[in-house]
Structure 1
Amino acid sequence: MSDTGASEPSEARGATQDAAPTAGPSVRQLLVMSVPAIAIGVGSAVTLWVLNSVAGLLETYLWQTLPAVFGADESTPWWIFTMLTLIGAAVGLVVWLVPGHGGPDSATTELSGPFPGLKALPSIALVVVLGLAGGVSLGPENPIIAINAALSMALLAKAAKVPQQLIAALAIAGTIGALFGTPVAAALVFTGMVGAMKSGGSLWDRLFLPLAAAGAGAATMDLLGGEAIAFHLEPMGALQPIYLLTGLVIAAAAALLGIVGAWVFPYVHRAFHALRNPLIITTLGGAVLGLLGVLGGPITLFKGLEQTGELLKNPDDYTPGQLAAFAGIKMVAMLIAASAGFRGGRIFPVVFVGAALGLFGSAVIPDLPISLGVACAIMGVTLAATRDGWISIFIGVALVGDVAVIAPLCLIVLPVWLMVTKAPELLIKPRPAGVSVRNPDRPHA
């Protein structure tokens, strides 16, 4: 009888060896690397807190102190229009004339990059503070991650001899942890990212350092008194079969709105950028945002987290028509802001849209629990915007503060994923070249 092992072709033996799992990092390596991971997480949270604090002070001045001088307040229509138009002009001047030009267009980049050089960071910080304080419907996530990643890579790449790809990943994790106030969000995001990385060890070996950075970022932000994303609605109670159907209707409708927004996005972006001059682009964008702000009122302004809290604390104060209008106006405002050269992320405005749609659904569908309606709508529109099921489920659950909605969400997300997986992305392509966490060998935003 012949020896099958001896007769095995060399190519097959090579393939078998290549398929064998590589060893993961040692305990010592994880312990040593946890020091820069925690440092990056703390630094990321501090940067976010500083920029949020500066933006908060400027917001108070622009929307409370200054309008009072002219006999107006934050809800006065002419003040809303004037302020957003002036903020658009200010952002346009920075993008046009200040070195760094406000960094890359946020409409063309994902959280994983590309990341700018150090010279661009002051201009990025300036435009993100102006946008947050001025009422622009974008969140801080893209610019803040860009700042933290660039700073971390510049400070630690040589001193700690840590690969830039890992440093950027830790900065992303630390910032996400600080933004959402919990490392769980970062861990869920990175389960998808590390699955595509060619590295050995178990999943938790690969999540260890990002989780350390995210935990440090979340804890630091909590100690500094950062914003929380958790609210508390009336619990769902015992799951009823009909909830799966009504929840799916809400989630699908929210996802459909997100898909429509993603389909329109490139056309709106192209129309604004056909004007070429950044000052004209953002000033016009600010004026359109001002008109939308007059139409929707102050609750449709800003990044949307505080305004989401206002909706969820007093849902009975709004009619179904108002809630539907809030959702539509916020979606349009986000698309205009992202298309007109303002710098910022799209997650927080999308969450506001989902909250408004969820309250609308629970108001018009009999016996749909409010917590399930809101969670399903947030999950649906966030799924369309991010293409990340884990983070969409997490945000839906975290916002309503009811763990009972996890089971129906895990079922409802499946058909909704089939809706969005081949739909247009909420991202402008082609994307600029730069460092990408997911694949450093080729450009990916």
Structure 2
Amino acid sequence: MPEAGSAAEPAARTQPEEADRLRELLWSPAYQKALVFSALIGVPVSLIAFWFLVAVHQLEHALWADLPAELGWDTPPWWWPLPLLAVAGVAVALVVRHLPGAGGHVPAVGLHSPGQGASALPGVVIAAFASLPLGATLGPEAPLIALGSGLALLFGQLARAPMTPKSTPLLAAAGAAAALPAIFGNPLIGAVILIEVAGVGGPQLFAVMLPALLSSGIGSLVFTGFGRWTGLSTGSLSVELSAPTPRLDAGDVLWSVPMAVAIGFALHVVMNTGRLAAMFVSRRTIVRTTACALAAAACGAVYALVTDRSPVDVASSGQATLGQLAQDPHSWGVGALIAVLLFKGTAYALCLGSLRGGPIFPSLFLGAAVGVLLAPLPGLGLVPAMAAGMAAAAAAALRLPVSSAVLVVLVMGSTAMTPVVMLSAVVAFVTVQMLPPGRAVPVPGTPAQPPPDPDSARPGNGPAHA
């Protein structure tokens, strides 16, 4: 940007240069057509994404609730994950070997910006149905991104819309954004995730975003209050919640920092283990993918034997279990919490490298479990501990701090925990970025690559590969 008074600056400027460029773009007929087409495909893509999720949930319920009940068990027996995940491993490996797109990207590298074409859709759908309902410790968000973008490109081809190097990424992003609200229940988080996943703004975005996010979270304590400080009342736009929410205390804020550091380090180990698993299955794909899936199933089986709880706690995305943990955290003893962290963390790492799905929901559950486990610490409340744990775990797993903070605030259903959420997300993200990067994950079916240059893992150099 030219300095004030320089010759490069126009004599009269009524708005920033970026606004002038945006105005020109909005008046472009090609961009206007892209906007109209994006609006039109939003409805069918959203409906298909909704029914995709319904089918996944119904099949999962049938396999993990209805079928055991018909066989006379109130909960699935300890060995239940073993045959299901064995089938999942074989099916996903066959998709990776024989179908275009290899069933979608490897979850261990985080979320990818939408880019796979319509030809990858069959493999993405089959791999998702083979992984998620059968007990993979993964969520549905990554298949939804691939499904939405692939459907948008397919509809564009069917409508004979002009597909150019500039319009194709826009159309793919629009489709992914239309599909994501089906799982998050809010269109905002889908848009925020895609902005960060796409790396819009490059290194400068992260350089500006982190201090802003951190100072905003700390500064908001002036208005929300903590401890004996009641906060300052402003005329901000807000919605009053009927349910009471706890007030933050100084201990909540202070404890969130070491919690975020520890969670960031732990999730870094989990994600790196997932990358090692992905390298392991890149050769002899069918045998090794099945072995990893069976090892993940064994984690659920051993957990059930040790704790006398359901193996579903481990062999699932954690979406339903997270709700149970939040509603009745005291039903989990210290031993059960430690066991679920160890076994679910291990199963999560194995599934990240071998099966297909997304990394968000298991990370949220692990962070919430850490929060419940550490809540008895002096000065730390249960709700702030869960909020800080979820934000730190999501930011460490995804390396998308803004998306993680927004997601946890929406999950909590209240803005009262926003300061510790933002603080934890930033601290965990910075912690992970300062640790040595993991090995590069090979494209399925290709040899593994050497470790990346440490400088390539700095913020802004592609959060999807972090």
- Residues 246 and 428 of structure 1: is their aligned pair in 2 closer, same or farther, counting only changes over 3 Å? same
Q: Is the 8 A contact 2:389 2:424 kept in 1?
A: no
The gaps in structure 1 that reach 5 residues or longer are 199-230, 433-441
Pairing 1:170–2:174 present? yes
Q: Is the 8 A contact 1:62 1:134 kept in 2?
A: yes
Q: 1:386 aligns with which of 392, 395, 398?
A: 398
Q: 2:412 aligns with which of 400, 413, 418?
A: 400
Deviation, 1:430, is 5.3
Q: Is the 8 A contact 1:92 1:279 kept in 2?
A: yes
CA distance in 2, matches of 1:85, 1:188: 36
Deviation, 1:53, is 1.9
Q: What is the one-letter code of the residue matched to 1:253?
A: A
Deviation, 1:197, is 11
Q: What SS class does the counterpart of residue 365 from structure 1 fall into?
A: coil
Deviation, 1:262, is 2.7
Pairing 1:261–2:244 present? no
Q: Is the 8 A contact 1:108 1:431 kept in 2?
A: no
Structure 1 segment 241-256 matched on structure 2, within 5 A? 241-256=250-265
1:273-323 alpha-carbon deviations (Å, 9 max, x no partner): 3xx233212321221121111133221222111111111111110112322
1:25-53 alpha-carbon deviations (Å, 9 max, x no partner): 46666775443223333333222222222
- Residues 431 and 113 of structure 1: is their aligned pair in 2 closer, same or farther, counting only changes over 3 Å? farther
Pairing 1:315–2:329 present? yes
The gaps in structure 2 that reach 5 residues or longer are 11-15, 205-240, 304-310, 445-461
CA distance in 1, matches of 2:394, 2:182: 19
Pairing 1:53–2:57 present? no
Instruction: Normalising by structure 2, report the TM-score.
Output: 0.73
Deviation, 1:397, is 1.9
1:58-115 alpha-carbon deviations (Å, 9 max, x no partner): 2233223434555446420122222222332233334344566424444457320441
Deviation, 1:372, is 0.8
Q: 2:429 aligns with which of 408, 411, 417?
A: 417
Q: Is the 8 A contact 1:132 1:138 kept in 2?
A: yes
The percentage of aligned residue pairs carrying the same residue is 26
Pairing 1:329–2:343 present? yes
Q: What SS class does the counterpart of residue 134 from structure 1 fall into?
A: coil
Pairing 1:155–2:155 present? yes
Q: What is the one-letter code of the residue matched to 2:185?
A: G
Structure 1 segment 12-411 matched on structure 2, within 5 A? 20-21=17-18, 22-25=20-23, 33-68=34-69, 70-72=71-73, 74-97=75-98, 101-108=102-109, 110-115=111-116, 117-156=117-156, 159-161=160-162, 163-192=167-196, 193-196=199-202, 235-237=245-247, 239-273=248-282, 276-296=283-303, 297-340=311-354, 342-362=355-375, 364-411=376-423
CA distance in 2, matches of 1:272, 1:431: 11
Q: Is the 8 A contact 1:55 1:130 kept in 2?
A: no
Q: Is the 8 A contact 1:148 1:171 kept in 2?
A: yes
Q: Is the 8 A contact 2:393 2:428 kept in 1?
A: no
**Partner of residue 201, structure 1:** none
Q: What is the one-letter code of the residue matched to 1:23?
A: R
CA distance in 2, matches of 1:251, 1:338: 22
Q: What is the one-letter code of the residue matched to 2:139?
A: G
Aligned-residue CA RMSD in angstroms?
A: 3.4
Q: Is the 8 A contact 1:153 1:168 kept in 2?
A: yes
Deviation, 1:136, is 0.7
Bigger CA drift: 161-170 or 70-79?
A: 70-79
Q: Is the 8 A contact 2:109 2:275 kept in 1?
A: no
Q: What is the one-letter code of the residue matched to 1:279?
A: I
CA distance in 1, matches of 2:34, 2:119: 28
Q: Is the 8 A contact 1:102 1:124 kept in 2?
A: yes
Q: What SS class does the counterpart of residue 103 from structure 2 fall into?
A: coil
Q: Is the 8 A contact 2:180 2:190 kept in 1?
A: yes
Q: 2:441 aligns with which of 426, 429, 440?
A: 429
Deviation, 1:172, is 2.6
Deviation, 1:266, is 2.8
- Residues 188 and 388 of structure 1: is their aligned pair in 2 closer, same or farther, counting only changes over 3 Å? same
- Residues 298 and 104 of structure 1: is their aligned pair in 2 closer, same or farther, counting only changes over 3 Å? closer
CA distance in 2, matches of 1:142, 1:405: 27
- Residues 312 and 63 of structure 1: is their aligned pair in 2 closer, same or farther, counting only changes over 3 Å? same
